[in-house]
């Protein structure tokens, strides 16, 4: 099937029912798309990386958005989801760094944009699957889906309501303007790389909650983060959880932590003080790789020998009992 762009406008042939895989992918001349009636599906990466695309109109016949359909269309400012759409892959609109308005037709029975939240929410599961630069998370949302806020690089702060139980893989990855985040006490699980590369993130509040581990890479590359306290509900800190947090100066572990995996705090070049708990059963000898400025490792009374057996020799001189 032949697809064209004329004067910045996509030409989609009459009779088309599916906009095919990669149909306009990477076309930097494309500025406007009007998808004709009769089209039911936008295929995988059909408009991916169309960086000049500013506007798109969808037909009432549309039912499905496949993965990466409009991913990285960095000039697109508005998305209006028609009433008959039943499937939206959670990466269909990821990386839209100019997106400021999301509206779901009020007649849609699968998705909604309740309370003018500027997001796409799967109604039955209360899963927020796509956010934008102006999104407000409504009370009642339970899940923030994979990559739901990915690339929302102008959000400085966001309130996560107490209804949220799951923050999935890479949900806030590359939210580079985000300054602070308070995780809700309702949280059950945080996904891998959830806040990776949030370069301006200075403050993280991890509450006492049902969450019992910090996942792989969850705050990796948060280069402005200065201190963190790991509460007693956290049993494990997984690999690379705080990898490359180069401004991190202090880490305090509460009594619940039992396991710290390899590279959990690797390349935290500013790290000076670590407070370890009595109940720690397993700590990788590589947990604090390339942290050259460690000056003090506080351990409970009577635990010096215990930690000398578990930490690399060059750190033994910094162990003090408190």
Q: What are phi and psi of 260, to 5 degrees?
A: -125, 120
Beta bridge partners of 181: 204
For residue 286 the two structure tokens come to 């590589």
Q: What percent of the chain stands above pLDDT 70?
A: 100
Instruction: Label residue 1 by pLDDT band (50, 70, 90).
Output: low
pLDDT in tens, 189-200: 999 999 999 999
Evaluate if residue 96 carries a pLDDT over 70: yes
Most confidently modeled range among 222-226, 299-303, 305-309: 222-226
pTM here is 0.95
Instruction: Say yes or no to pLDDT of 212 above 90.
Output: yes
Cβ atoms of 289 and 267 within 8 Å: the answer is: yes
Residues 120-137 pLDDT 10s: 999 999 999 999 999 999
Which residues share a beta bridge with 10? 5
- The whole-chain average pLDDT of the chain stands at 96
Q: Residue 13, SS3?
A: coil
Rounded CA-CA distance 186/109 in Å is: 27
Rounded to a whole number, what is the distance in angstroms from the first to the last CA of the chain? 72
- What domains are there in the chain, each with its CATH number? 1-152 (3.80.10.10)
For residue 61, what are its two tokens? 């016949």
- The mean pLDDT value for 6-34 works out to 96
How far apart are the C-alpha atoms of 127 and 92, rounded to whole Å?
Answer: 15
Query: For position 151, what pLDDT does the model report?
Result: 86
Instruction: Provide, rounded to the nearest whole percent, the portion of the chain with pLDDT above 90.
Output: 96
- Averaged pLDDT for residues 31-36: 97
The pLDDT assigned to 278 comes to 86
Position 2 scores a pLDDT of 84
Alpha-helical segments (H) within the chain? 304-308
**Which own/partner pairs from 75-79 qualify as long-range (CB within 8 Å, at least 24 positions apart)?**
75/31, 75/51, 77/101, 78/102, 78/103, 79/103, 79/132
Distance CA 95, CA 72 (A): 5
């Amino acid at each position: 099937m032949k697809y064209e762009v004329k004067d910045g406008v996509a030409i989609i042939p009459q009779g088309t029912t599916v906009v095919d895989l990669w149909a306009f992918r990477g076309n930097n001349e494309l500025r406007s798309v009007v998808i004709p009636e009769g089209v039911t599906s936008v295929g995988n990466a059909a408009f991916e990386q169309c960086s000049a695309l500013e506007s798109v109109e969808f037909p009432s016949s549309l039912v499905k958005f496949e993965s990466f359909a409009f991913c990285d269309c960095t000039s697109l400012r508005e998305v209006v989801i028609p009433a008959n759409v039943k499937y939206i892959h959670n990466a269909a609109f990821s990386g839209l760094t100019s997106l400021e308005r999301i509206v779901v037709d009020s007649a849609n029975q699968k998705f909604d944009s309740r309370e003018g939240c500027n997001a796409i929410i799967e109604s039955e599961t209360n899963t927020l699957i796509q956010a934008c630069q102006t999104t407000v998370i409504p009370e009642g949302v339970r899940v923030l889906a994979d990559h739901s806020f990915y690339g929302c690089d102008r959000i400085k702060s966001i309130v996560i309501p107490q209804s949220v139980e799951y923050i999935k893989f890479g949900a806030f990855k590359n939210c580079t303007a985000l300054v602070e985040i308070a995780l809700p006490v309702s949280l059950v699980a945080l996904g891998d790389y959830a806040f990776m590369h949030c370069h301006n993130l200075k403050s993280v509040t991890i509450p006492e909650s049902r969450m019992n581990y910090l996942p792989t890479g969850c705050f990796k590359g948060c280069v402005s983060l200065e201190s963190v306290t790991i509460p007693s509900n956290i049993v494990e800190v997984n690999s690379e959880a705080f990898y490359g947090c180069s401004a991190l100066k202090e880490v305090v572990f509460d009594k619940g932590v039992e396991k710290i995996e390899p590279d959990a705090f690797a390349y935290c070049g500013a790290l000076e003080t670590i407070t370890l708990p009595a109940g720690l059963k397993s700590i990788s000898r590589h947990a604090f790789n390339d942290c050259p400025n460690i000056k003090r490792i506080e351990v409970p009374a009577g635990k010096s020998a215990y930690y000398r057996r578990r930490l690399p020799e060059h750190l033994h001189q910094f162990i003090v009992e408190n």
